[in-house]
Amino acid sequence: MDRRQRRRNFELPQNAEQLKGYRALYYYRAFQYLFLAFTLLIFTINLIINFDSFSVTTTLWGFLTTITILVSLLINQSLLLEPPSKPRTVPTYLSISALLNGILFAICVTFISNHLEFNADHTHIEMLTLVLSTVLILHVASLVLLTHYYYVFLAFFVPSLISLLSLNEITITQQFTVIDFASFALYGICLVILGLMVYRRRSDYYVLVVNNQRLDTDNTLKTTEIDLLNTELSAEKQMAINIREELETNNVLLEQKVKQRTSDIESIHAKLERSHQNLEMAHETAGIASWDWDIAHRQIETSNFPQIFGYNIKNMTHYLTHLNDFIHGEDIDHVKTQMRRHLRGLDERYEATFRVYHPTERWIWVHDLGSVTQRDPVTKKPLRMVGIRRNINNEKKAEESLKLSASVFKKAAQGIFVLDDKLNYVDVNPYYLNLIESTEDQIIGRHVFDILKSSNIDSQRLNLTILRQLMSTGEFEGEIVEELQSGREIPLWMHINGIRDNHDKITQYIGIVTDLTERKASEKRLSYLETYDTLTDLPNRTYFNNLIHSYLTESPKLLNRFAVIRINLDRFRYHNEYLSHHGGDELLKKVANRLRRNNPDAVVIARLNADDFAMILEIKEDIEEIKDSCKKVLESFEAPFHIQNKELMLNVSIGVALYPEHGRQMDSLNNYAEQALLEAKRIGGNTLRIYHNENRLSTAARINLEAEIRRAITHQELSVYYQPKINAHSQTVHGFEALVRWNHPERGVIPPAQFIPLAEETSLITDIGRIVLEQTCSQIKAWENMGFADICVSVNIVVQQIQRGHLVTEVDEIIKKSGIQSHQLELEITETSLMENISEVREVLSDFHKRNIKIALDDFGTGYSSLAYLGMYSFDIIKIDRSFVSKIGQANQDAIVRAIIAMAKAMDKQVVAEGVQTQAQYDFLTAEGCDFLQGFLIAKPMPSDLATEFLEIKRLDQNAHRI
Ligand code: C2E
Ligand code: MG
Ligand code: MG
């Protein structure tokens, strides 16, 4: 685009115009100062050159010009200070002022040329040069300073240029040439063109300046904007960073939270799983099954059904349908009604107890509980129902059992009470209330002993015993006599048992009380019949023997010394026959009464048999008092008896044995008393005899004998004699009984009766027993070696051996040492030994039994409870005492022996008869089925060598018989 066109298109902006005006004013002011300087120069020149002719005009001009310049400067200054509102004011002012300056300059030049014309001297050229230089300077200055507006430049330039033509006058002498004019014209044209060019450059410059300014402003604005934007951007960037960091932090937190949540969810899940399993287990353990009935979709889900009920209802579509198949016919209506009521919303929940069929347990009781969990919001129809079913069979059974217990409790024919842990009554049954004559209100909450009178010290002591026993063992059982508040005493059998909780702490006591009043009465009656003689009302033989037994065995001893007194009526048989049966009985009654009346100090007076009476008297000081008492008995019979209007004179014989002088065993004492009685009878009756055994040893003799036995044991003076026992049926030797003998160096062979009783009282019996066992067993082995293999030897033992030694181990050792078979050895124990320590003896005997060692009950029939022993212990053999055997052939005695044999057979026991002395006895016993026979008839006890001979002879006999 060319400049002209650009100018056309480009209209100067207002502020550019103002800037140009402003600059033009500044430049013009400079031009004014220059023009003022020119004016002052002119003045100066005027003064120097020719003041007179020139000065007036010049001075006028000078003044006028100076004033013009000053006025112009003032206008200029005011315009600078306050820019004019009209845009054309400045160029107009500048044009006018420039024109005035041009005119004034032209005038000045004209003056100067006129002056030079009149003063053509040597200074002429110099002046001209000066003027031209001045003109040139002003022209150049106008070119530089006035070209903001072209016409302002022209306003000054044109008059000033024209004024130069006046200089032609000066050249009269030196006329202008064409060249001069041409130079003048060229100069003028050049400056006009230059002025135009400068003006245009300037105009362009201002446009550029303004544009620059605008651009600058724009630039500044843009920069500010950019800065603002930058600030905003960096703020936003920072914000973005912050947000990013925040986001990252949040992300991390979120991740952590997610992890946390995941772990929480997992743990909750695990917990839920555990809870679920626990619940299932609890359900299973508690016998609970759950069901979930989706009524809308006709589906039923169950858990634990097969385990608990043995069936499942999974494929059922309706809950009630399955019940038809399993439920008990009697319960079905109830269940259906309950279910329907709940489904219709009549009941808050469904609950039913009924029986279902179980494949193995038949009918079991179950409890069903359910509830609708979802209903149609509009129609209210049930959509879903859940519930549980529980096996309550055990509870039902427990309930029934409780009912039964309650009924037993109420109706029991025994008193039952329940106490708390402090022994206060909690519950009692009617029987108990009736028994203790109380009402429920009177005893519930009261202490067990409070309701009793317990007035005497014994009942208080008993209460204390019960209390102590309950505290220590939690149990009390025993017979007691309670004194009721009414003062009545009742015998009771009371059993109180502590009921313990899981920590083994007693929480309650249950007591069962049996009223023994009836039983006591009947026991009393029975015991009376058993122990009393109904004819005379005196204790009988059993009572009498039991009493002696208790005095002998109990510790501490109630009686340290006593006399066993046997009293027998002389010639009673004669009186009895005379008085007839009734009279005899009456006589016996009167005898009993007389004995009772005259012997108040007697411990007991008993009727043993027919006319046999007995008495026990305590010996307080010496035997004389016993004698006196017995004499009084004899004297009391001096008075006659009146029976059936008959007067009878009766005498008695008395035999006395003393404890402990004559013996320490009941049998011995009875025997000795009987012997003394027989002695009294033998010498004619109506007299008293005290047992006196010449052979009995004094204390000193006993001590001496004990020492001698010890010596005998160490000197091996004891040997075993063997008495054969033969088989009653085959007449072969069954074996022997080992009987100890003492080969005294001075007194010869001493029988066991003389040293065994003393040995029994000391530990010597153990040593003797061992010696006999050892000798016997080695003898059995010796016989076995000789070819007598089946020989069986019995050894006597006493209970002291069992108590004092270790008999079983001793026998084991000896059998082992000798090398015999245990069945080759038999043991004999006498009835009298068995009276004490029943359980210990029973245990030892059963140990022997286990070892295949047979046990024989020796001297059977001599004790006072022979039959009882048979039941108590397990014997294999019964040895009939020789006292029975010796009486075979006498009235009733045969029957006794026969009965013993029959009884032994019935009990599957072997029978040995000892003391067989006659062929009659032999035949009788064989005929009755006695298994083995022993006695002098067969052989006396003999030393081992003779026993061996006996065996050999018997073997020879046997062989001879066979041949
Ligand atoms: P026992 O056990 O009843 O022994 C049988 C006793 O009767 C033996 O007396 C025996 O000689 C005797 N006897 C056997 N047949 C007849 C007969 O036909 N007529 C008569 N009158 N008597 C006969 P022994 O040997 O004097 O023994 C007496 C008691 O001494 C034994 O009675 C037994 O209880 C005891 N005894 C013997 N040896 C021992 C022993 O080693 N230890 C123990 N603890 N007591 C023994
Ligand atoms: Mg014997
Ligand atoms: Mg015997």
Protein residue whose Cα sits closest to atom 41 of ligand 1: 740
Give the 3-state secondary structure of 347-370: CCCEEEEEEEEECCCEEEEEEEEE
Which residues hold their Cβ within 5 A of ligand 3, which is an ion? 858-859, 914
| 673: amino acid identity, one letter | A
The per-residue pLDDT for 865 is 54
Residue with CA nearest ligand 1 atom 17: 915
Ligand at minimal distance from the CA of 880 is 3
Taking the CA of 764 as reference, the closest ligand is 1
Residue matched to tokens 């198949």? 325
Q: Give the position, in ligand 1's atom list, of the atom nearest the Cα of 739.
A: 38
- C-beta separation of 543 from 532 below 8 A: yes
Rounded-to-integer distance, Cα 203 and Cα 21, Å: 11
Q: How far apart are CA 916 and CA 238, in angstroms?
A: 139
In angstroms, the first-to-last Cα distance of the chain is: 184
Query: Is residue 756 lining ligand 1, measured as CB closer than 6 Å?
Result: yes
| 312 contacts: CB under 8 Å, gap ≥ 6 | 302, 305, 306
Helix or strand holding residue 589 (H, E): helix 572-598
Place of tokens 């003032």: 74
How far is the centre of ligand 1, averaged over its atoms, from the C-alpha of 886 (Å)?
15
Residue range 46-69: mean pLDDT, rounded:
72
From ligand 2's centre to the CA of 447, what distance in Å?
A: 61
Contact 670, 548 (CB under 8 A): yes
CA separation for the pair 72, 156 (Å, rounded): 14
E strands, 538-665, in order: 562-569, 604-609, 612-618, 641-643, 646-648, 652-659
Measured from the Cα of 941, ligand 1's closest atom is 11
- Mean pLDDT, rounded, of the chain: 83
Read off the pLDDT of residues 350-365 as tens digits, 9 standing for 90 and up: 999 988 888 777 888 8
Of all residues in the chain, the percent with pLDDT exceeding 70 is 90
Which ligand number lies closest to the CA of residue 725? 1
Residue 146 carries which DSSP code?
S
What is the model's pLDDT at position 6? 43
Q: Is the pLDDT of residue 255 over 80?
A: yes
**Residue 454: per-residue pLDDT:** 64
Q: Is the CB of 936 under 6 A from ligand 1?
A: yes
What CA–CA distance (Å, rounded) separates 457 from 330? 64
Per-residue pLDDT band at 38 (split at 50, 70, 90): confident
The residue whose C-alpha atom lies closest to atom 22 belonging to ligand 1 is 915
> Does the beta carbon of 796 sit less than 6 angstroms from any atom of ligand 1?
yes
Distance of CA 49 to the CA centre of its chain: 148
Q: Amino acid identity, residue 352?
A: A
* Least reliable range by pLDDT among 150-159, 212-221, 879-888: 212-221
Q: In what order do the strands lie in the sheet with 562-569?
A: 604-609, 612-618, 562-569, 652-659, 688-690
For residue 881, the ligand 1 atom closest to its alpha carbon is: 3
Atom of ligand 1 nearest to the CA of 759: 44
**917 ligand 1 Cβ < 6 A:** yes
CB atoms within 10 A of CB 913: 31
- 387: Cβ–Cβ under 8 A, 6 or more apart, which residues? 290, 291, 293, 350, 368, 369, 370, 371
Closest atom of ligand 1 relative to the 936 alpha carbon: 18
- CA-closest residue to ligand 1 atom 12: 915
In percent, the amount of the chain with pLDDT more than 90 equals 25
Which ligand is in closest contact with the Cα of 860?
3
Calculate how far, in angstroms, residue 684's C-alpha sits from the geometric centre of ligand 3.
Answer: 33
Please compute, for residue 136, the number of CA atoms within 13 A of its CA located in the half-sphere on the CB side. Answer: 8
| Nearest alpha carbon, ligand 1 atom 2 | 796
Residue 52 has pLDDT above 60, yes or no: no
Section 86-113 average pLDDT: 83
Q: Using pLDDT thresholds of 50, 70 and 90, give the confidence band for residue 916.
A: very high
Q: What is the mean pLDDT of residues 581-601?
A: 91
Report which bound ligand comes closest to the CA of 934: 1
Distance 858 CA to ligand 2 centre (A): 6
Closest by CA to 343, choosing from 324, 371, 369, 302, is: 371
In the predicted model, is pLDDT for residue 721 greater than 60? yes
From 695, 718, 796, give the residue whose CB has the most ligand 1 atoms within 8 Å, as the site to mutate: 796
Highest-scoring range by mean pLDDT, 18-22, 438-442, 696-700, 943-947 = 943-947
Q: Residue 722 Cα, ligand 2 centroid: separation in angstroms?
A: 11
Ligand 1 centroid, distance to 739 Cα (angstroms): 6
Residue 829 reports pLDDT greater than 80:
yes
775-811: pLDDT as tens digits: 999 999 999 999 998 899 999 998 878 876 689 999 9
* 858 Cβ inside 6 Å of ligand 1: yes
Give the closest residue (by CA) to ligand 1 atom 34.
796
The answer to whether 561 and 660 are in contact (CB under 8 A) is yes
* Burial (CB count <10 Å: 0-12, 13-18, 19+), residue 849: middle
3-state secondary structure of 293: strand
pLDDT at 795: 97
